[in-house]
Every structure is written in C-alpha cells, then in structure tokens.
Structure 1
Amino acid sequence: MHLTKVRTEFSMCRHTFFAFFSSFVYVPVLGLLGVMFGCKSATTTQPKAPAEAYQHTNMEIQSEKHKSVVHVPVELSIAEVTKQLNVQVQGIIYEDNSFNDDNQDNFKIKVWKRSPIIAEARDSLLFYTVPLRIWAEKAYKISPLGIEISGSQSTEFQINLKFMTRFGIDPNWQVNTQTVSAGFDWVTKPSVKVAGIDIPITGLVSRKISENLGTISKSIDDNVRKNFIIKPYIVQAWNLIREPRLLSEEYRTWLVVTPTDILATPFEIQNGKISTTIGIRGFTQTLLGEKPATKPVVDVPNLIITDKVPQGFQIGLIGVVPYEEAARLAAAQFIGKTFDFKDGIYKIEVTEVDIYGQNDKLVIKAGLKGSINGFIYLKGIPYYDAATRLLSLKNVDYDLSTRNVLVQTANWLLQGRFTKQIEQEFVFPIGSQIDEAQKAIRQQLSTRKVAKGIDLGGRLDTLIPDQVYLTPTSLVALVVAKGRIEVKIDGLL
C-alpha cells in the first residue's frame, strides 16, 4: 500500500482508531505515529521574556565628552611691529639741557630719530637699527697762558643704535619683550673747536650714550607691551568657540564645545613674522533639543606655556533610531515573511516584531505561527557599519530562556539559519543623519570672518565609529569625526 493511501485511510478512520486504542496506547507513541504518517501538530512556545534594562540615558550619551583642541594661530608681521615703533618713536627721543652742578660732564645733548627704524629677524631674535641725529654742546673752561677762558661749543653727528629683542608671553596674557643693546655704529663722529683747536669728544659722547641705552631699551619694551595686546582677542575666541552650532535642524542637534584651559607655544620669529600657536583645550558634545544657553565670559584662564600644542578636534556625530521607528522598519521587513526548515518539513511565519534593550544588547521579540505558535526572543549587539552606513546587529542568538524551550520543543530552529537571516536583514539606515551632521559641521568650519581680526576655519578628515548605545527610548549610534579647527587672530597692532 502506498504511503499516500495510508495517510488517506488514516485520516478517514481517525476517530475510530483513536477510540479503539486510547486505553492501550500512550500519547507519546501517538505523537510518533503522527509524525511517521505526516500528521504534525504545531508547538506553542512561551519562553520567559528577557528583562528590559538600560545602562545609559539619552542625557548621559549627550554628556559624553570628546577631548579636543581648537588651534588659535597668532601672527604678527615684523613690518607691522616696525611700523608701530616708527609711529610711536617720533621727535626728540632724549634730551639733557642743563649745565648744573650734577652734570659733571658739562654736557648738553638732544637726540632725534634720523630716519625710520629698521627691524629684521635672526635666530629667533628681532634686531632693530635705530638711526639717530644727535646735537651736543660741551661747556669748557681753559687757562692758556694763565688766562681763564670759558664758554661752550656745540656739534651735531649721527649714529646708528642697535638692539635685539626676544618676545615672550606671561601666564597673565601680558606680552613681554626683553630688549638689550647690541652696540652702536658711528656715522659721523663728534668734535668741538676751542680756540681754533678741534677737540674730539667721542669718548665722552660714547659714555653718555651708553648710560642711556638702558632707557631706550626700556622704551622699546614699554611700547611693545602697550601695543601688542592679545587677551581681548582670546576672550573673543573663547566665546566664539562656546557658541552652540546647529548641526541638524530636523533632529535638533547641536554641537557644543566647553573650553577648559589654554596652552601656548613660545614665540617664534621667522619668515617675516612673530608667531605663536595657542590651543584652547576642552570637550565637545552633541546635544539634542533646544539650543543650549550660553553666557559670554569676560575673562579666560591663565596661560599654560608648552613646547607643543596638541592637534586634534573631535566631534561626536549622533544617529538616532527610536524603538518605535526600529520596530516599524523591522515589521515591514519581516512580518508575513515565511521561513522553512528541514527541506520544508517545518515552516514558520513572522506575525509580530517588537524591540527593546537589555543593557548592551538589543532584544527582538518575534511572534510566530506555523510549526511554532507563540513568541521567541533573540538578542544581538548593535553596531554602526561604516562600510554600509547602516546600524546593524552582530552575534544574534536566542535568549537563554527561548533556547531552553526550543531544545525541548523545536530543536530544528536552533540550527542557526533563522538567526543568521535576522542578523543580515535587521538593519537601520542612519547614514543620512551622519551625512547631514557632517555637512553641517563642514559648513560651520568653512573659512569665514566672524569678527574683526578673527577668522574661523577648519576641516574634518575622518569618521570613526565609536559605539551604539541603548537608551530607554532609542538606539543611538555615535560616530566620531576627527579633524582640525582654527580660529586665526590677525591685526593685533
């Protein structure tokens, strides 16, 4: 008798067959006969649901901070320094107009700037040449042949004073210079005539000039200290950096930088410029919601002098998928989809999908009908796949309670095919969110003047997946954008 005929006759006489043997045959044997003759009853699964639990809140993720440094290159043209010195140094630089008793040299002197001051850089020092015209008058008393003759004679001559200056900056933001004399050169030498005789006074004048070189050096330092002011610009840059930047209007995402301290390298003098690099160090955050409130500061921390300002600006870009949206996307992908096993002997259809979190794993609750009726629970670790730009799952497997139930009732479902398909197809597109945030940051970093003497510019170089967090409301993917931001200060004089 063919198997198909056996199945038909068995079905027709099923009631009589069961009634006749019910008192003699155990239920397990009937179940075995049912399978042998093609009569498979569906299994109902009721595993214990994994507990919902979260290690992170939305606010904690937004509060995740990335260490960053905003570079603030400061450059000052040597030509501009020289120009300011020439503006400040005008008219009589020094004079002594008395022949009083304290003036034992009986010497009067007046000093003018003869032509513009010249400056050049050598070996990280700034060298000045100050061309001067000097008028001097010498009082005298002589007694030739016992006859006392007194009077005074004047002369004019020219010299070039030389100075060298080293630039520095104090922790309180005061620019300081250390200017010392590098000597002087005679252009014309002084002498006076007494009774028709030329009397050289070069030594006397040299001594007088040398006595006043310290005063001239101090005058140069005071002038630079007065006119080379950095701190107000740094306060502007500090407040500019703290201003929240809108990254996504749709998702109401804001970039917030919280500065903490300021570093600076020693001044360098090269390529016609006096320069230093200031680094405003702090933390970046990506916040969601209304624009964060900030209040401008009027002061900044003291400066930390360092040999090198570290590079690297990091921004956390956030991609958010609410659980409701994730469940909707998953339902569209899986509900109504049929899976078969053991060459079609077993079939299941997905009827329902729900999603929630358990610490670092995403829990998938799947409703099934067919060879299994009821619910099963799977878990997977969410991650951002940079290659596909999708929020995906890895290491998808059955929850322990579901696995224990399936071992007893539907071992065929544990062969891995179902979990692999879930893992491959359970994906959420968030690339557009990341793109939008990245584009917004690049627009914010495009070189532009934000205030007089202050330009903002920068770039993003790389995107590095960081972590996917599960919060009570959403899957949140964090991608770190690394690059460089500069706030360039110019026109300090």
Structure 2
Amino acid sequence: MKKILCLLSISILISSCASTQKIEALKPEPDDAEPLLYDNAVSFISIPVVAKLKDIENQTNKVLNGLIYEDKNIADDDIEINIWKQAPITLTNEKGKIKTVLPLKAFVKYRIGTNKLGIDLYNVKEFNFNGNVVLLSDVGLTNWKLKTNTEFKSINWNESPSVNVMGKAVPITYAINPAIQLFKSDIEKSIDEAIAKSMDFKSNVLDALDKICTPFQMSETYDTWLRISPTELYTTEAKLQQDKIMFDMGLKCTIETLVGQKAAKNFLRSDIVLKPVAKMPDHISANVVAVSTYADASKIMTKNFAGQEFGSGSKKVKVQSVEIWQKEGKMIIALDMLGSLNGKVYLSGIPQYNEQTKEIYFDKLDYVLDTKGRLTRTANWLLQGYVLRKMQEMCRYSIQPNLEEGKANLLKYMKNYSPMPGVFINGNVGDIQFQKIQLTNKAIIAFVKITGDVSVTVDGLK
C-alpha cells in the first residue's frame, strides 16, 4: 500500500511538472540604435490682431505728457514759447486716418521795442492761453511697431489775448501763428513717437511666443507634452477700420507631442524676424507629430493585458509584461508569459491606424518564425487562431485620449484666454485628422493634422 501511494505521488509530481513548459525562443534583435529622426511637416497659424483705437489713445496719453515744445531764446525772433499737453489726447477715425486732437496750453513771452545805439528799448509781455491742435496720421506697421505718419493740420486758440501797439489792441496770435512753423514738426514727431512707443508689439509678441513655445503637459495619465518650435513670423500691413486698428500675424512652426519626460524648449528670441507679407491665410493648418516611445507604448500595452488569460481548458497563460521595438519596418511584440507556458514569445506585425477608434493596432500579427517553431514542439495550443486573435485585440494602443485631451487643452487657450490684461485670444479647433505612421528605432511616430482659427483682440489694455 505504501508503494502504491509513493508511486501515485511521483506520478502526480511528474504530471504537474509536465503541465508547465518553458520556451526559450530566439529574440529578434532591434535595429541598430540611431538618432531619433522623423519627418516633421511645417504648420502655419494665422492670428488676426485687432486693437481698439481707444486703447491706443489710452496708451498714447500715458506716454505723451508734460512739456511738448520749448523755445527759450527770445533774442532771435522776439518770441519765447513753451507748450504743454493740457488734457488727454483723443483719437478718432477720419476717412481712414487717425485724427488726433491735442489740447495744449502755451506760455508766451512777446518782446516789443527796439535796440538803438546799444540801448534796449524793449517791453516784454507774458501771456498764458490755450487751444487745440488737430493732426491727421496715416497708419502702418514697421519693425514690430504701429507706425504713423502725422501731419499738423490746424491749431485753434480758445482765447486771443492782445497787446497795445501804438495805442491799438493787437491780437498776440498774429505773432504766435507764424511761430507754429517752428514747433509743428516737433508736435508731429511727438505724436508719432508716442504712438509707436505705446503700440510696440515686439516685447508682447515675443513674451507670448516664449509662453507658447514652453512645452506643456497635455495628459498626466499618458505623460504627453506639446512642443511648438517657431521658425518664422509674418505680418500684413496695419489698417484702420472704424474704431479699430487691424492686421494679421502668421506663425510658421513645427508642432510635436512627445511621450515621456518633458521636452526641451526650442525657442530663441533673437532668432525671430518679423517678415512683411501682403496677405495671410485665414486659418490654422497644424501638422502635429505625436511621438510615442516604445518604452511608453510598452507600458500602456502591458496594462491592456492585465488580468487577461489565453488558452483553453487547463492550458492557460497570463502575460506579465509587454515589450515592443522595431525591426525591418515591422513591430516586434515580446510577451512575457506565466502559466502552462513560461518564457517569452515574440509576435510581429505592421502598425496601422483605426480612424473610428483612434487606435494604433498591428495588422498581420503573427508569431515570428523561431517562436512558431518552438511552439509547434512545446505548446501547439497557443498557435490556435482564436488565441492569436485575442492577443491581437490586446495589442493596440489608443491615441484617442491623447487627441481629446490635446484638443481640450488647446481650447483652453481659445475661449477668451487673456495672457495679459486687455489682450484676449479666441478661436476654434476643428477635427483632428490622422495622416500616417512612421517607425524609428526608438518610437512610433503618428502624424495628425489640425485645422481651426484663432484671433487676438486688444480691448482695455492696461
């Protein structure tokens, strides 16, 4: 009886050992490690800019203050004039030009008399009076600045003080008005410089680009980062329409979404040159590169296999981990198995994209040749078609969450987003269209195209 029990125990032990088999298939080595290179199509983002004339007026008033013109030499023409801005400037549209009304006050010293035999026989009178200067300006955009070409049109005095000359009251304006020729160019220049300084877009645009070009995390779950790298910046001529200054800017750039650690910023302020163009497209045409490293895609696919069993009856395996890489234009998928079969099996397939599910999957998935030979001898049941089909269902990588989160993050910057007080960004993002897949030695590269529109409005600039 003891012999029988001993033989039975040995039989069970042998049987249990025979039910777990080990496979040692040859690993298809990845292609040589080369630098991560891929084709990145150029994107173009058109940005119409609208600045309200009232904001330009407010900024100009901040810049232009106090003394505008000063003439302290009374000896050359018997007149000395100091002119100050008296009240806020107003800017309006007059037939496509900026009409500037500048309230001013003047302090005038007027000298009456003569110099005979070295004896001064002068009588100096002092006057304070005020008026309004009217100017008209053409509008342009030069070297990042709103450029105006201002022309002095008229000056209207609110009062006309007089002096007694040979017993007659003579209005002092007869002496001051010719002197306007002396200071009108100074006032024209002051207005042009003030508007240019108040509407210098360079620092604002470069600050905005600096923020835009700082890679930001689109998805914490998938650890994806969006990076924009600008190459050129364009602008059309500025135009005055109703109460607004309008022009178009355009950004030529490359756009990438990178999976894994935060990417470095590709932006140098000194390299950006503003190029004038006659016309700009009125939409966004963005070609986005989605870079998914094999290491990160492997982690996601490992999650897909969690809790899944493959096989039939008592012969089943579970996939402990997944590792993928590229070899000769195909994806190699290594499945580390535990159960009725221990060890790694290797599948190969061609990556494809499912437009409906937004998934990268692997077409023509099959065991690599050496793996298939080993399974024929050790675990032929794993070669059954339905097992392979079930594995193929798990061997997919959805980029839909990435696309949706990416779109949602972009929309945050297009719903009255204000990067600075008084500046607002609005726009829309259209459908995200898949273009193609490119394999490199380190990553799966998915190319998608995004269309939409965006605009910038300056309203209430501080």
Structure 1 position 445 matched with structure 2 position 417: no
The structural deviation recorded for 1:58 is 9.1
How many angstroms apart in 2 are the aligned matches of 1:475 and 1:86? 56
C-alpha offsets along residues 296-330 of structure 1, whole Å, 9 cap, x if unaligned?
7564523212233443234334678559949x97x
TM-score computed with the length of structure 2 as normaliser: 0.64
| Secondary structure of residue in 2 paired with 1:59 | coil
The structural deviation recorded for 1:55 is 11
Structure 1 position 430 matched with structure 2 position 371: no
The structural deviation recorded for 1:242 is 1.7
Structure 1 position 460 matched with structure 2 position 429: yes
Corresponding position of 1:235: 206
Corresponding position of 1:294: 265
Structure 1 position 265 matched with structure 2 position 243: no
Query: Where in structure 2 are the equivalents of 1:180-195 lying within 5 Å?
Result: 180-185=151-156, 188=159, 191-195=162-166
The question of whether the paired residues in 2 share the 8 Å contact of 1:317 and 1:480 is answered with no
Corresponding position of 2:43: 68
Structure 1 position 281 matched with structure 2 position 252: yes
| Secondary structure of residue in 1 paired with 2:262 | coil
Matched residue type, 2:151: V
The structural deviation recorded for 1:463 is 1.2
The question of whether the paired residues in 1 share the 8 Å contact of 2:360 and 2:397 is answered with yes
The question of whether the paired residues in 2 share the 8 Å contact of 1:96 and 1:108 is answered with yes
The question of whether the paired residues in 2 share the 8 Å contact of 1:322 and 1:473 is answered with no
Corresponding position of 1:166: 138
How many angstroms apart in 2 are the aligned matches of 1:59 and 1:437? 25
How many angstroms apart in 2 are the aligned matches of 1:475 and 1:116? 61
The structural deviation recorded for 1:207 is 1.7
The question of whether the paired residues in 2 share the 8 Å contact of 1:356 and 1:362 is answered with yes
Corresponding position of 1:128: 100
Which one of the candidate residues 89, 99, 103 is aligned to 1:117?
89
The question of whether the paired residues in 1 share the 8 Å contact of 2:227 and 2:265 is answered with no
How many angstroms apart in 1 are the aligned matches of 2:409 and 2:101? 48
The structural deviation recorded for 1:163 is 0.9
Change (3 A) 1:213 1:471: closer
Change (3 A) 1:290 1:157: closer
Query: Where in structure 2 are the equivalents of 1:337-416 lying within 5 Å?
Result: 359=328, 382-391=351-360
How many angstroms apart in 2 are the aligned matches of 1:58 and 1:335? 40
How many angstroms apart in 2 are the aligned matches of 1:205 and 1:215? 16
The structural deviation recorded for 1:69 is 3.8
The question of whether the paired residues in 2 share the 8 Å contact of 1:390 and 1:427 is answered with no
How many angstroms apart in 1 are the aligned matches of 2:443 and 2:178? 83
The structural deviation recorded for 1:141 is 6.0
Higher strand residue share: 2
How many angstroms apart in 2 are the aligned matches of 1:429 and 1:290? 19
Corresponding position of 1:137: 110
| Secondary structure of residue in 1 paired with 2:356 | coil
The question of whether the paired residues in 2 share the 8 Å contact of 1:107 and 1:139 is answered with no
Structure 1 position 469 matched with structure 2 position 446: no
The question of whether the paired residues in 2 share the 8 Å contact of 1:230 and 1:492 is answered with no
| Secondary structure of residue in 2 paired with 1:81 | helix
Structure 1 position 253 matched with structure 2 position 230: no
How many angstroms apart in 2 are the aligned matches of 1:443 and 1:208? 58
The structural deviation recorded for 1:179 is 1.6
How many angstroms apart in 1 are the aligned matches of 2:300 and 2:62? 70
Change (3 A) 1:277 1:56: farther
Corresponding position of 2:342: none
Corresponding position of 1:7: none
TM-score computed with the length of structure 1 as normaliser: 0.61
Change (3 A) 1:133 1:264: same
The question of whether the paired residues in 1 share the 8 Å contact of 2:289 and 2:446 is answered with no
The structural deviation recorded for 1:117 is 2.6
| Secondary structure of residue in 1 paired with 2:221 | coil
The structural deviation recorded for 1:268 is 2.6
Over the aligned positions, Cα root-mean-square deviation in angstroms equals 5.2
Matched residue type, 1:387: Q
Structure 1 position 213 matched with structure 2 position 184: yes
Larger Rg: 1
Number of aligned residue pairs: give it: 396
Corresponding position of 1:59: 36
Q: What is the aligned-residue identity percentage?
A: 24
How many angstroms apart in 2 are the aligned matches of 1:76 and 1:132? 27
Which one of the candidate residues 223, 227, 232 is aligned to 2:194?
223
C-alpha offsets along residues 249-276 of structure 1, whole Å, 9 cap, x if unaligned?
3332211111222222222323433344
| Secondary structure of residue in 1 paired with 2:218 | strand
Structure 1 position 308 matched with structure 2 position 283: no
Change (3 A) 1:236 1:85: closer
How many angstroms apart in 2 are the aligned matches of 1:472 and 1:358? 8
The question of whether the paired residues in 2 share the 8 Å contact of 1:121 and 1:272 is answered with yes
| Secondary structure of residue in 2 paired with 1:60 | coil
The structural deviation recorded for 1:489 is 6.8
Matched residue type, 2:194: N
The question of whether the paired residues in 2 share the 8 Å contact of 1:461 and 1:482 is answered with yes
The structural deviation recorded for 1:189 is 5.1
How many angstroms apart in 1 are the aligned matches of 2:262 and 2:200? 33
How many angstroms apart in 1 are the aligned matches of 2:238 and 2:51? 10
The question of whether the paired residues in 1 share the 8 Å contact of 2:435 and 2:449 is answered with yes
Matched residue type, 2:188: S
The question of whether the paired residues in 2 share the 8 Å contact of 1:315 and 1:481 is answered with yes
C-alpha offsets along residues 20-50 of structure 1, whole Å, 9 cap, x if unaligned?
xxxxxxxxxxxxxxxxxxxxxxxxxxxxxxx
The question of whether the paired residues in 1 share the 8 Å contact of 2:56 and 2:198 is answered with no
How many angstroms apart in 2 are the aligned matches of 1:56 and 1:454? 47
C-alpha offsets along residues 401-441 of structure 1, whole Å, 9 cap, x if unaligned?
9xxxxxxxxxxxxxxxx9xx99x989836254444543553
The question of whether the paired residues in 2 share the 8 Å contact of 1:154 and 1:192 is answered with no
How many angstroms apart in 1 are the aligned matches of 2:411 and 2:60? 40
Matched residue type, 1:438: G
How many angstroms apart in 1 are the aligned matches of 2:218 and 2:446? 16
Unaligned ranges ≥5, structure 2:
1-27, 116-120, 335-346, 370-385
How many angstroms apart in 2 are the aligned matches of 1:241 and 1:390? 28
How many angstroms apart in 2 are the aligned matches of 1:196 and 1:92? 35
Unaligned ranges ≥5, structure 1:
1-50, 143-148, 337-350, 366-377, 402-417
Corresponding position of 1:343: none
C-alpha offsets along residues 5-25 of structure 1, whole Å, 9 cap, x if unaligned?
xxxxxxxxxxxxxxxxxxxxx
How many angstroms apart in 2 are the aligned matches of 1:177 and 1:464? 44
